[in-house]
Amino acid sequence: MTPVTELRQKLLRYAAVGSAASLGGDASLGVEVAGLRGGAWAHGNGLFPLNTDNVLLQRFRAGADQGLLLAICAGSSKDEGGCVAAGATACEYLDAFERGLLSEADVAPTLRRATLAAHDAVLKMSRQPLADLPPLHTVAGARTSLKGIGAATIAIAAVAGRLWVVHVGGCRAYLLRDGRLRKLNLEHTLSYVPEYRQMTKSDPSAAHEAADYLWTRSLGTAENAPNFDVSRMELLPGDRALVGSDALTDQLAATVTSHMPQSLEHAQKALDAALSATHLPVTFGILDVLNPGSPY
């Protein structure tokens, strides 16, 4: 059995229990546990029927506490081979948290280990034959190998009133609190490279129209893993965290603030409609910290 076939079968097992999308497939996931409620969605649209991203939503234990792991694992929307990279990344996070953690002190190192393992897994996959995969297309034509595939990721883990965030590449995370939206990460894209920002400040005409979408770091595209950080913050009842691929811009993320409070289902429909209008595959997740007695 080839590594690609093994990956496909593993993702099918996770998809069967509602923890992830299948390889190149759609997903609509929902989990509620210990005052937390999460949802994650991935699907293509008319222009991109195959979503190269993957989503995961998984319960986990950290000592006596229960938590939720939510992640977006993104492949390039212009390269269907990205579904392999995204799927391999998703499996590493799922495997790392499935065993449970001794305490919340293990959340950050587990996220770090899973991200490093994801880099190694994607790099390994990039050296494998296409095997029994259906034809994978790119904007430059059909793939003859998996060489050069890579993934971006944003993963959040919530437990006991705290949230941990790790990211590589162009994915984004936000926190909605009391109607105000706060960005939780600065994505690894050209727009945040200091030299680029300085150049465009002195010469605005030199700005690249796709700077917000050109990744400067990714998983599996170089021998050495990219640099990344794991951050931690406090969570309050009523907080809502949003994660998404690079199609989830600041403006689109703000759509969930227009009618507060919103149920998870209403927020999902609002974001789904907004993202579909961009003509890109739709991939995002929402994690709510429930208020005691709240109908939402």
Contact 92, 114 (CB under 8 A): yes
The stretch 139-157 carries a mean pLDDT of: 92
| Per-residue pLDDT at 137 exceeds 60 | yes
pLDDT at 41: 93
Q: Which residue has the tokens 């005052």?
A: 35
CA distances in angstroms from 59 to 9, 64, 79, 99, 145, listed in the order given = 21, 13, 31, 11, 35
CA 42 to chain centre: 10
Q: What is the DSSP string of 47-97?
A: S--S---EEEEEEEEETTEEEEEEEEEE--TTBTTHHHHHHHHHHHHHHHH
Residues in the chain: 296
pLDDT recorded at residue 49: 60
pLDDT in tens, 197-246: 999 989 988 899 889 989 999 999 999 999 999 999 999 999 999 999 98
pLDDT score, position 219:
98
pLDDT digits (tens, 9 = 90+) for 170-193: 999 999 998 899 999 999 999 999
- The percentage of the chain sitting over the pLDDT mark of 70, rounded to a whole number, equals 94
What's 155's DSSP letter?
A: E
The Cα-based distances of 96 to 7, 108, 186, 241 in angstroms read 15, 12, 25, 22
Q: Comparing 41-45, 198-202, 256-260, 262-266, which segment has the lowest mean pLDDT?
A: 256-260
Does residue 291 carry a pLDDT above 80?
Answer: no
Instruction: Tell me what pLDDT residue 80 has.
Output: 87
Confidence of residue 91 (pLDDT cuts 50, 70, 90): very high
Provide the 8-state DSSP code for 207: -
Q: Would you say residue 47 has pLDDT above 70?
A: no
Mean pLDDT value of segment 35-45: 88
Q: pLDDT category, 258, cuts 50, 70, 90?
A: low
